[in-house]
Amino acid sequence: MVSSGTAVLVPADEAGRGDLVREIDDPVNGRRWLLFRDANHPGGPGLLVLAGGASGGDRNRAGSGDFSVENRLRMPVIHPGDRVVAEEDSRFVEARLEAFALGPAAAGEPVRVRLRLGGQVLSARAIAPGRVRIPPAGERRP
């Protein structure tokens, strides 16, 4: 058994010991996890069990164990709630703004971010973990 902080990972054959609390779809690798109450430890942690196969079919092949360059490029580098630096470079301004990601994005994909100061929501493009690019005013979409 490996402790994950809030739950314990156990083999699937040991899982039926408690009530099913929730099914969790992992947006990063497309796998489904089952969280059970642990009758031996009613105060927690629960039992977290990997369900058989990916929940989303072929929508996300990253969870299939295929770590080819193509699939690694599609893996998110920005996750919802991540603190990011929103970079804007144009003829008139060079700015680095602190923001929070509102959704996941792989490198090169669009993502919406909320600026820490002012709370404005902007469209940006993921560059790398913790970095997004705000397009110049001429390229922006409402």
Asked if the model's pLDDT at residue 52 lies above 70, the reply is no
Q: Are strands 7-9 and 46-54 parallel, antiparallel or unpaired?
A: parallel
In this predicted structure, what is the pLDDT of residue 107?
A: 87
Q: Which CATH number fits domain 76-139: 2.30.30.760, 3.40.50.40, 3.40.630.30, 3.40.50.1220?
A: 2.30.30.760
Average pLDDT value for residue range 39-50: 78
- List where CATH 2.30.30.760 sits in the chain: 76-139
Q: Which residue did the predictor score with more confidence, 55 or 93? A: 93
By the 10 Å C-beta count (0-12 exposed, 13-18 middle, 19+ buried), 115 is classed as middle
What integer pLDDT is reported at residue 121 of this predicted model? 95
pLDDT confidence tier of residue 17, bands split at 50, 70 and 90: low
Q: Tokens standing for 87? A: 């970079």
- Which H, E and C letters describe the chain, residue by residue? CEECCCEEECCHHHCCCCCEEEEEECCCCCEEEEEECCCCCCCCCEEEEEEEEECCHHHCHHHHCCCCHHHHHHCEEECCCCEEEEEEECCCCEEEEEEEECCCEECCCEEEEEECCCCCEEEEEEEECCEEECCCHHHCCC
Model confidence at 54, pLDDT cuts 50, 70, 90, reads very low
Q: Is the pTM of this model over 0.75?
A: no
Give the residue carrying structure tokens 């193509």: 70
